Amino acid sequence: MTPLPDPTDPPRAGRVAAFFDLDKTIIATSSAAAFSRPFFAGGLINRGDVLRSAYAHFLFMVGGADADQTERMRAHLSSLVTGWDVATVSRIVEETLHEHIDPVVYAEAVELIESHHEHGHDVVIVSASGSEVVEPIAAVLGADHAISSRMAVEDGRYTGAIDFYAYGENKAVALRELAEREGYDLEASYAYSDSVTDAPMLGAVGHAFVVNPDRTLRRLAAEHGWGALTFSKPVALRSHLAGSTPALAAAGVVALGVVAWVVWRALRRRRRD
């Protein structure tokens, strides 16, 4: 099954896109933390940096990082990468991508991506992680575009400055800019995220879904009429693409849930009107 457009809506003039958050939405971890070991092995970080990254990852996974802690982590990461050789980072990500990302991809997310493509929708990966990490992952997933943070570079090395931080409201800004360039009809488009910080992105489209929501995010979704999905089956990406039957079956249930939610929302809108 594929997530069909709302059958009661009039035809749209623009194209449709599906915007996917990356960390804990498509993959069951933090993309930045996933590469801490290969960055250590490659000499980019030391053991203390690994421990600090592990703590930041723990806060991220349990949802315990507030705005101040998130800003401190952003500043720490900015300081951490200062002086890193960009080519070295890209090489490490490319060489270890399948080893560290493949096993933690949600089967349900991969099937939704495939479903959107089958229905002619563009797929856009949106992440606060750096472009050197996000863009290779997006390519493996078959995404059409990627929105990510961009670090300033001089003479092939990171300066520590951030040209664009794809976080919070900035995600929605970049989403709208991409929609303007590509001709996307945002009212007909979709967005998926696990994080309350992505509320601006979710609110920018007509069909928004929260993934594995905590109590706060579930309440926010109810207030805005957003759908709720549960992703629970990390699967090796290559085995999924080879045709893993259990993965396809589980993800098909999620796709069916998307269809049901869109139809239910349309009928409720018609009754209200």
Q: Where are the domains of the chain?
A: 15-241
Nearest CA to 110 out of 8, 12, 18, 30 is that of 18
Rounded to 5°, the CA angle 200-201-206 comes to: 105
Question: Mind listing the pLDDT tens digit for each residue in 30-88?
Answer: 666 666 666 767 776 666 555 455 444 444 444 444 556 556 666 766 777 788 888 88
Interacting residues of 10 by C-beta distance below 8 A, sequence separation 6+: none
Give the Cα separation of 127 and 13 in Å (integer).
Answer: 28
Domain 15-241: CATH superfamily is HAD superfamily/HAD-like (3.40.50.1000)
Reduce the DSSP state of residue 264 to 3 states and report it.
Answer: helix
Active site residue ranges:
21, 23
Better-predicted residue by pLDDT, 218 or 89 = 218
- Strands 145-154 and 105-106: what pairing? unpaired
- pTM of the full predicted structure? 0.75
Report the DSSP beta bridge partners of residue 193: 210
Reduce the DSSP state of residue 25 to 3 states and report it.
Answer: coil
Question: Mind listing the pLDDT tens digit for each residue in 205-218?
Answer: 999 999 999 888 99
- Strands 157-164 and 145-154: what pairing? antiparallel
Report the DSSP beta bridge partners of residue 18: 123, 190
Give the Cα separation of 113 and 124 in Å (integer).
Answer: 9
